[in-house]
């Protein structure tokens, strides 16, 4: 995503699968203070990847925009920034 920002996703609700509309992203785990190290994940040509810290399965969906998730509400927004 050269020239853009990398979206961050969180999984406070413990969803087993989160569908996302990007192939490069950051997983933060749960919202702070319960987050894990913010890890960059790149799907490459795959459609799924498991976060090595929280075991959330992220699945790519071309139907979603970069800021959309299924289930809804998994986009992480840094309120301190």
Q: Residues 2-18: pLDDT tens digits? A: 556 899 999 999 999 99
According to DSSP, residue 21 is labeled S
Model confidence pLDDT, tens digit, residues 31-79: 989 999 999 999 999 999 999 999 999 999 999 999 999 999 999 998 7
Model-level pTM? 0.91
Burial class (CB in 10 A: 0-12, 13-18, 19+), 43: middle
Query: Is it the case that residue 1 has pLDDT exceeding 50?
Result: no
Can you point out the beta strands (E) in the chain? 8-9, 17-20, 24-29, 35-42, 48-50, 57-60, 69-70
């Amino acid at each position: 995503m050269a020239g853009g920002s990398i979206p961050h996703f969180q999984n406070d609700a413990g969803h087993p699968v989160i569908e996302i509309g990007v192939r490069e992203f950051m997983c933060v785990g749960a919202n702070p203070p319960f987050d894990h190290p913010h890890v960059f994940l790149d799907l490459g040509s795959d459609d799924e990847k498991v976060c090595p810290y929280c075991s959330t399965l992220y699945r790519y969906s071309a139907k979603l925009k970069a800021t959309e998730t299924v289930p809804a509400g998994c986009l992480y927004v840094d309120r301190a920034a």
